[in-house]
Structure 1
Amino acid sequence: METNENQTYDQPKKTKEYIIIGVLAALLLGSIGYNFYQHQNNKSEMDLMEIDLKDTEQAKIILQNQLDSLTEQFELSRVDLEVKDSLLSKRDAEIFDKQKEIQNILNKSNVSESELKQARRMINALNADIARFKQEIAVLQQKNDSLIVVNDTLRYNSFKLGEKANIQKQKAEATEKKMRSTFSVSNYQITGLRVRNSGKEVETDKAKRIDKLRVSFDLDPNEFAESGEQEIYIAIYKPDGTLGKFTDASPGQLETWSLGSVEYSDKVAFDYTKGTKQNVTFDWEEYDFPKGTYKIDLYQNGLKIGQKSLSLR
């Protein structure tokens, strides 16, 4: 699976791919458009070449109709034009000037054959100019559409990155809050106890006389730990290194930050008052305690908060 860093690194590469695709699409569209308009131009030129210029009145009517048709095409192209640049503005002005010049010739009452020939030549040129104008609009529009796709993609990627960054920020804040709310332990003690018939408890470190081990520690005041029920996980290790179990306990596994998954013997639940110092005590009994060293670890929020050992002789 890719990491966030790799995904972030891939964004410029993906953007370049979108741009390349957009440019290639624009070039392809421009090429198709050019071939189409070139074919139309050649057909129009052939039609105009068949005009009998000696019949000036009829030729004048045909040329005027052709000019009107080209003018209409040109105006429609200008209406559809959504993207303007300096080149198209120059083409626009040039075409408009040619239209006026041709119209001036056709407006003459006694137009000559040579003037009609000039008008025909100019209409053919105008036809080619308008075709080129349409082609340039199509290419420019396609490029603009491609840029829109790229910009939308960039905005989407930016949004997703921002969303991921926000999720990471929330996780970091949650982790920081959990770390701050983790207790620190003081006065951590493990005591061997013998219980006399009278019920009196006497401290001892002789294994054969011990009836139970008492674990006691203080939770230092913590302003970040909320009031209410809290839990601390207990892992008791026997002298042979195996995990000790309590009677009626709830053992299990715990995920830690640095040690991975660890087993625990039981968990101790207690009510905590925010910002106060609190003592926690529990006993491990009903076990035949052999000689050796016993180790008891304390965990909270995936962190080891206490470790203590007791040697019995």
Structure 2
Amino acid sequence: MENQQNNSSLKAIIAVLAVLLVGSLVYIFKMSSDAEVVQTELKTTVSEKDSVMKDLQTLKATYDAAIAENTTMSDELIQERDKIVTLMDDLNKSKGDAASMAKYKTQFFALQSNMKVLMAENDGLKKQNTVLTTQRDSTVMVLGESKKFNEVLVGQNDELSKTVEKGSKLTILNTKTSAYKLKGSGKQIETDKASRADILKISFTIAENQIAKSGDKTYYVQVIDSKNNVLGDKKVATFGDKTLSYSFDTTVKYENKTVNISEDLPGKNFEKGTYFINVFDKDELVSKTSFSLR
């Protein structure tokens, strides 16, 4: 009877121990399962965080490339790019729990949607700029060709003007000077002796020129003796910053036809030697000659 009681107690103890063992095993299994779940959730969260960060980096790179193109939308693109940078900073600081990751994903999708709209607008602007650039280049090329053509025309006109100006200048020909003795009767006898000379007769011809300007023409005649004295009136004419000492001037009405001019320069005690005669149109020397008295 006593042995039966001992056996019953032993069986009860074994049963209790078996229950406790099973409970322990169940608890250990549950704890292991929970740990694996937590570890899996952590891995999943970290993976999601990395994925969202990569997506944000891709968005930022897209904006950086668009901003570098320097379109008229650059300010808007910079603002959106800065929002992405701010979100990346927040994501770096976050613990990466499921709630926060859901929030970051939502913000990412909103930024991605905005980017698609802005990129479409930016592409449209680039195409417009390409068209405008092509039109501008064409215009610049046409203007460049027109400028070159105008420069050629201006050059030709300048050359033509110079040719016309040169051709319209009057030519002085046959400038001559002789000394004469004046008789009481008024008759003039040519002489080459200084002691007999009473007047010097200076003559020259204005050649015909159909393209020259007609009207009154004045010439200044300068007669210089062998001692470098200016004979005659010894008047002085001023042309800008230049002055001219001359013996006499003569004015004729020029009508584009040949004109012969002859003027007498009276004097006394003419010097022996060589005389120089210069004819000026204002301050420009247009003819010269010389002669000698003995």
TM-score by length of 1: 0.51
Change (3 A) 1:241 1:140: farther
Q: Quick one: which amino acid aligns to residue 191 of structure 2?
A: T
Aligned residue for 1:208, secondary structure, equals: coil
Find the aligned partners of 2:283 and 2:132 in 1 and give their Cα distance. 53
Find the aligned partners of 2:135 and 2:179 in 1 and give their Cα distance. 77
User: Aligned ranges for residues 38-49 of structure 1 at < 5 Å?
Assistant: 38-40=81-83
Residue 215 (structure 1) aligns with? 202
Find the aligned partners of 2:222 and 2:284 in 1 and give their Cα distance. 13
Residue 163 (structure 2) aligns with? 176
Residue 130 (structure 1) aligns with? 117
TM-score by length of 2: 0.53
Structure 1 position 270 matched with structure 2 position 252: yes
Find the aligned partners of 1:37 and 1:142 in 2 and give their Cα distance. 22
The CA RMSD over aligned residues, in Å, is 5.1
Change (3 A) 1:252 1:34: same
Aligned residue for 1:35, secondary structure, equals: helix
Query: What residue ranges of structure 1 are gaps of 5+ in the alignment?
Result: 1-24, 47-113, 256-260
Find the aligned partners of 2:84 and 2:120 in 1 and give their Cα distance. 13
1:216 shift after superposition: 0.9
User: Aligned ranges for residues 1-313 of structure 1 at < 5 Å?
Assistant: 27=70, 32-40=75-83, 123-135=110-122, 170-242=157-229, 244-247=230-233, 249=235, 251-253=237-239, 263=244, 265=246, 266-274=248-256, 276-286=257-267, 288-300=269-281, 304-313=285-294
Residue 82 (structure 1) aligns with? none
Find the aligned partners of 1:165 and 1:262 in 2 and give their Cα distance. 39
Q: Quick one: which amino acid aligns to residue 203 of structure 1?
A: E
Change (3 A) 1:294 1:217: same
Query: What residue ranges of structure 2 are gaps of 5+ in the alignment?
Result: 1-67, 90-101
CA-to-aligned-CA distance 1:82-137 (integer Å, 9 cap, x gap): xxxxxxxxxxxxxxxxxxxxxxxxxxxxxxxx9xx999865542212223344556
Q: Is the contact made by 1:220 and 1:277 (CA closer than 8 Å) also made in structure 2?
A: yes
1:309 shift after superposition: 0.5
Specify the structure having the higher radius of gyration (Cα). 2
Find the aligned partners of 1:225 and 1:293 in 2 and give their Cα distance. 35
Q: Is the contact made by 1:296 and 1:307 (CA closer than 8 Å) also made in structure 2?
A: yes
Q: Is the contact made by 1:204 and 1:210 (CA closer than 8 Å) also made in structure 2?
A: yes
Q: Is the contact made by 2:272 and 2:293 (CA closer than 8 Å) also made in structure 1?
A: yes
Find the aligned partners of 1:307 and 1:160 in 2 and give their Cα distance. 46
Find the aligned partners of 2:145 and 2:282 in 1 and give their Cα distance. 34
Q: Is the contact made by 1:236 and 1:294 (CA closer than 8 Å) also made in structure 2?
A: yes
Find the aligned partners of 2:243 and 2:130 in 1 and give their Cα distance. 60
CA-to-aligned-CA distance 1:141-170 (integer Å, 9 cap, x gap): 788889999999999998888877766655
If asked which structure has higher relative contact order (CA below 8 Å, sep 6+), I would say 1
Change (3 A) 1:301 1:118: same
Q: Is the contact made by 1:33 and 1:138 (CA closer than 8 Å) also made in structure 2?
A: no
Q: Quick one: which amino acid aligns to residue 39 of structure 1?
A: D
